[in-house]
Amino acid sequence: MNNPACRNLKSYLGLMFLSVFFISCSFRKEKISPNQLNLVPFKNQVGALNLPDHIAAIHAPFQMPQLKRPLFPALSESIVANGAKTGTKATKIIQQTIDDLNAKGGGTAIIPKGRWFTGRITLKSNVNLHLEDGAELHFSGDIADYLPAVFTRNEGIEVMSLGACIYANGQENIALTGKGRLVGPEKGGSVRTQTMTTQVIEEFVDLSKPVSQRIYEGHNGSPVLPPMFISPTNCKNVLIEGVSLENTAFWNIVPVYCDGVIIRGVTVNSVGIPRGDGIDIESSKNVLIEYSTLSSGDDCFTIKAGRGEDGIRVNKASENIVIRYCLAREGHGAITVGSETAGMIRNLYVHDCVFDETGSGIRFKTRRPRGGGAENIYYDRIRMAISGTAFNWDMLGSAQHVGDLANRLPAREINPLTPSFKNIVAQNIVVESASQFVKVNGIPESPLSNVRIEHADIKSDKLFAAADINNFTVRNAKVEARDSKINLLGAGKLIFENVQFLVPGATLNVVASSDEDVKFINCKPTGLVPTKVVN
């Protein structure tokens, strides 16, 4: 690592194997992980400004291949040599350059310094689309520049629509690289004015139709589903590196059904844009995200796996995902799992990241009719200075999206659309500021299960509130809060062990029903028992 800040991160790797050993132990054995609070990075050590030249080895608490950059033939072609001119729409020339290189066996299509205008661009196998420093690629706001409709997935449901500004389907060995800048569809164009905003997508899309007939092209002013910014679909060996994105119409970087994805050194700014997620991994596997900086209008780093019945039909998981040395700035959630979870989300490892000025820190979302769930999720060496909740599980959602299913009671019968979240470890966590330490709104018929938070230094306003949890442990932690209340409902096997509570009055106010199962072991203040019982 040439950057001095990056060199500081080398010290983490020496203890990485030890850390991985402990967090990969059986949840039943409850092994104690090593205390590495002193190694939790600061924001000047992570993010796009610290991007090293090489990709370091990947270490994870699950089987994970060592991902490497795709290689391309030495052949390169500039769009200028093929007739492109700044200030005019260059879509056809950009696409022809990519197509020609693909036909010749591959190479690099160069977007040189300058201001270029384009509609949808489709990447092809063995081609690297490279934006030189100073290159600006501005995307059209007219629906006509994204037609014909292509296969895509929008909010977890398969459709034929506008796809993405930079799109690929069924390609292998592709890349988008460089220090250039991508600017999304201009405001006021039909892409934005005809975007469907009045319904949840499963009510808008007729799921009884085959996907080939779920066509939304915007003819005669009809609504469309907005294009993502960059979305390789059904692709293998994908690299997205170095570029900056702003002014997206929808989610920014969205691999869908991909295998082998590297996203590194990207900068995203979509603050103020509704549904302006930073990076969404959709039913993809073997993914590395590193040294990226996201400022988002919605969630920053998000893992998804399809929505409800359509997602269960597809049944593709998001799995084997490592996110490291990243910086989440503004956004609803820094790292979010869900809410589309039908195909399952498993084997996610987030380490050495900083959340600065986001809403929630570690966020989980699902709904009763979303299906699937998440398991084997790991967080290590995370620093937060946020405005929202440090650990937030929102499993029920709102009536606006799921009607009466958002009501906690009555408990429902478990069915294929009942999600399950379990086996989650968070260790070496520093929370410099947050509105609340832990908040769980679980599902009574499918409680959040097997969660451990250990080696944590927490400063928050509110303390702890949880409904419908089972086997939840906070261990070896210091928690400083401005209130002393722990609210519990449907809590089974909640354990606080070796936890120092710094709260007003040096006394906890545990609000719980008589059948809650909560224990305090070697905690300070000592002798803690529920001080208020609600029948």
Mean pLDDT across the stretch 516-522?
A: 92
For the chain, give the percent of residues with pLDDT over 70.
92
Q: Write down the pTM of the prediction.
A: 0.93
Q: Alpha carbon of 306 to those of 23, 340, 366: distances in Å?
A: 28, 5, 11
pLDDT tens digits for range 179-228: 999 999 999 999 999 999 999 999 999 999 999 999 999 999 999 999 99
pLDDT tens digits for range 465-488: 999 999 999 999 999 999 999 999
**CB neighbours (10 Å) of residue 13?**
12
Q: What is the pLDDT of residue 302?
A: 98
| Highest averaged pLDDT of the listed ranges 21-30, 145-154, 396-405 | 145-154
pLDDT tens digits for range 295-326: 999 999 999 999 999 999 999 999 999 999 99
Q: What is the pLDDT of residue 364?
A: 98
Q: Where are the alpha helices (DSSP H) in 443-514?
A: none
CA distance 424 to 472: 9
CA distance 155 to 201: 7
Nearest to 333 by CA among 306, 308, 301, 303: 301
**CB neighbours (10 Å) of residue 317?**
19
Q: Alpha carbon of 434 to those of 188, 199, 310, 333, 366: distances in Å?
A: 37, 33, 36, 12, 22
Per the DSSP assignment, residues forming a β-bridge with 230 are 166, 253
Q: What is the pLDDT of residue 400?
A: 84
Q: What is the pLDDT of residue 515?
A: 78
Nearest to 332 by CA among 270, 398, 375: 270
pLDDT tens digits for range 107-119: 999 999 999 999 9
Question: Would you say residue 529 has pLDDT above 90?
Answer: no
Nearest to 327 by CA among 288, 369, 296: 296
Query: Domain locations in the chain?
Result: 4-66+299-533
Looking at 227-236, 273-282, 396-405, which range is the least confident one?
Answer: 396-405
Question: Would you say residue 13 has pLDDT above 60?
Answer: no
Contact at 8 Å (CB) between 260 and 67? Answer: yes
Question: Would you say residue 254 has pLDDT above 60?
Answer: yes
Q: What is the pLDDT of residue 513?
A: 80
pLDDT tens digits for range 66-93: 999 999 999 999 999 999 999 899 999 9
Per the DSSP assignment, residues forming a β-bridge with 282 are 256, 304
Contact at 8 Å (CB) between 306 and 342? Answer: yes
Place 528 in a pLDDT band, splitting at 50, 70 and 90: low
Average pLDDT of the chain is 92
Q: What is the pLDDT of residue 514?
A: 74
Nearest to 184 by CA among 111, 231, 122, 249: 249
Contact at 8 Å (CB) between 323 and 47? Answer: no
Pairwise pLDDT comparison (30 vs 58), residue with the higher score: 58
The DSSP secondary-structure symbol of 168 reads E
Pairwise pLDDT comparison (400 vs 348), residue with the higher score: 348
Q: What is the pLDDT of residue 28?
A: 38
Amino acid at 297: G
